[in-house]
Structure 1
Amino acid sequence: MNNAALFVVTVLIWGTSWIAIALQIGPVPVSVSVLYRIALAAILLILALAVTKRLVLPAQWRFVVLQAICLFSLNFVALYNAAALIPSGLLSVVFSLASIFNALNARVFFGEKITLRVVLAGLLGVSGLALVFWDSLTVSFDPDTLRGVGWALLGTMIFSLGSMASRRNSATGTTPIIANAWGMGIGAAILLILALATHQPLVVPTDPTYLAALLYLAVFASIIGFTTYLMLVSQIGSAQAGYATVVFPVVALVISTFFEEYQWSTTAVLGVALALLGNAVMFARLGRKRAGGKEPF
């Protein structure tokens, strides 16, 4: 699968996962639903790799553990805490900063130069999402809102650090799918410990709709979505791959247009145009190849 296909698959899967998440709202606490999602994904992925005789140990465990902490446990805790305090639109705008955080972290951890193109694309994308969700951004910045923004920033930064850990795994010879398998297992263990420590009831779900949504989130949003995203991180760089966080909320709104009768405003249309322009800037061929002799797409 080429890089363009990986990007499209990542965006489409993460852009549709909100439907499954919405179907899980009910008797099972949100944090426990995340635990079930990551645990099921880990079990399925490890079993699949074992059956096909592709399950191997990571080259270095420390980066797999760091990836588990940052991508498969604590980031979810932070982002779901944010979702309880601020509108989803504002959360999407903050999370879209992942491409910029990725560029900053790549500079810190890998010495990569932060290019004007990446900064411009990131600013266009974040500004575009701000316009898309303009109505939900008109909130009073009371203490709860400020805490929600803080949780969202923390979750986004943790997510970005997970992308850096994945790059380290790839550099040491551990492929994204192997790192994901073991990382999800470790992440599920961390989430279980947190659930027990905070006295969250481990409700056993029986509703068929909930179980179908759980299966979708485990297989598609977790196993496939994270694998394609981290393959992009390895192949085109973390800043470019992080731009998926800008595009998938737009996909979610397009789907909402058909299923929830979302009404597009002038600012929303302009916002989508800016986000797509940022996408074009981020992945534009500038007549020269990336380091290593490969174009991003």
Structure 2
Amino acid sequence: MSVSAGETTLLRWRIVIPFLLTGMIWGSTWWVITDQIDGAAPSWSVAVRFAIATPAMFLLARVMGRSLAIGRNGHILAIAIGIAQFCANFNFVYRAELHLTSGIVAVMFTMLIVSNAAFGWWLLGQRITRGFVVGTVVALSGIALLLIHEAGLNPLGGSIPLGILWAVFGILAASIANVVQANETGRALPMVSLLAWAMLYGTIADFALAWFTAGPPQLPDRQSFWLGIGWLALAGSVVTFPLHYTLVREIGAGRAAYNGIVTVIVAMLLSTLFEDYRWTTQTVIGAVLALIGLVIALRARQTPPPALKQAA
């Protein structure tokens, strides 16, 4: 069947707009988080973010005509996703940015595909190709160069090893959530509805964790904090998730994952502009190796890891 010029153009923009928009928004969120943890407990910043995002996601599900009835197994799945993705993952990320510049954390999170592949191999029997391993080694070499440079400067005055540890925990938490989403129950449910319930359960866990670790909420009253909360909750959570999954359906999970390259470029640019990140020959080589390794790993991956199908 032939496709008219109008349909071809429509398909092109249906791909280009979600691809660039999700990459740019997610790239900006890493830097916005730095203001969220300035004078506020990280756990409370996360809790308030998803307290705003959750009703917006429920509203979006209703506007899209999706049923909110997901059944008993759906709620069990949503609890697991909510605790892993919207509580553990984000709490680890916010804490990592207390010690590492936002662009470095963003680069580290490109390695989410590695942990997803490992969990996919272990739990789902998905094959890992030789090319994927080669790309991973190249990317990890580049990330190592960036982290060595970060440790030498220590621009935030924190603990570089602790920041790396928090980031790794965040990657693992996200991977667990994404592998869980790939089960039969998750595939049978409307994505927006599942996300809405998962955010609700995650928000409950966020508030409990925040109260336990930081006591009653004490949040800044500066305008930038609340504008940042709005951007992270609405643009960084509610807008991008549905766009990303639409993109996955249009061009496939593997190609959709390439918006991670846009994310890293935007994150590193903002880190350079606003966090005084200093580029050297070592960091340029490291960034290039990380991106080249990511491309090699994605191109070599014949069966995309679960997270590339289900979350970002």
Letter in 2 for 1:220: A
Whether the aligned pair in 2 keeps the contact of 1:96 and 1:126 (CA below 8 Å) is: no
Q: How far has the Cα of 1:175 moved from its partner?
A: 3.1
RMSD: 3.5
Q: How far has the Cα of 1:68 moved from its partner?
A: 0.5
Partner secondary structure for residue 198 of structure 1: helix
2:89 to 75, 81, 90: 75
Distance 1:105-1:132 versus aligned 2 partners, 3 A rule: same
- Taking the aligned partners of 2:275 and 2:180, their CA distance within structure 1 comes to 37
Whether the aligned pair in 1 keeps the contact of 2:42 and 2:95 (CA below 8 Å) is: no
Which residue does 1:270 correspond to in 2? 285
Which residue does 2:133 correspond to in 1? 119
How many residues end up aligned between the 2 structures?
A: 286
Scaled by the length of structure 1, the TM-score of the pair is 0.79
Partner secondary structure for residue 72 of structure 1: helix
Letter in 2 for 1:20: V
Distance 1:139-1:169 versus aligned 2 partners, 3 A rule: farther
Matches within 5 A, 1:191-230: 191-203=206-218, 206-228=221-243
Scaled by the length of structure 2, the TM-score of the pair is 0.75
Q: Which moved more, 1:219-228 or 1:65-74?
A: 219-228
Distance 1:243-1:51 versus aligned 2 partners, 3 A rule: closer
Match status 1:184 vs 2:199? yes
- Taking the aligned partners of 2:146 and 2:163, their CA distance within structure 1 comes to 20
How many percent of aligned residue pairs carry the same amino acid? 27
Distance 1:150-1:205 versus aligned 2 partners, 3 A rule: closer
Give ranges in structure 2 of 5+ residues lacking alignment: 1-12
Whether the aligned pair in 1 keeps the contact of 2:244 and 2:256 (CA below 8 Å) is: yes
Per-residue Cα deviation, 1:36-67 (whole angstroms, up to 9, x for no partner): 11111001111232345434222522221111
Whether the aligned pair in 2 keeps the contact of 1:103 and 1:118 (CA below 8 Å) is: no
Give ranges in structure 1 of 5+ residues lacking alignment: none
Partner secondary structure for residue 182 of structure 2: helix
Per-residue Cα deviation, 1:76-109 (whole angstroms, up to 9, x for no partner): 2233344445565664555343111000111122
Whether the aligned pair in 2 keeps the contact of 1:42 and 1:185 (CA below 8 Å) is: yes
Partner secondary structure for residue 202 of structure 2: helix
Whether the aligned pair in 2 keeps the contact of 1:180 and 1:227 (CA below 8 Å) is: no
Q: How far has the Cα of 1:205 moved from its partner?
A: 5.0
1:95 to 75, 91, 109: 109
Q: Which moved more, 1:96-105 or 1:4-13?
A: 4-13
Distance 1:252-1:101 versus aligned 2 partners, 3 A rule: same
Whether the aligned pair in 2 keeps the contact of 1:166 and 1:179 (CA below 8 Å) is: no
1:166 to 159, 167, 181: 181
Whether the aligned pair in 1 keeps the contact of 2:78 and 2:194 (CA below 8 Å) is: yes
Which residue does 1:44 correspond to in 2? 56
Which residue does 1:35 correspond to in 2? 47
The structure that is helix-richer by fraction is 2
Letter in 2 for 1:106: G
- Taking the aligned partners of 1:40 and 1:269, their CA distance within structure 2 comes to 38
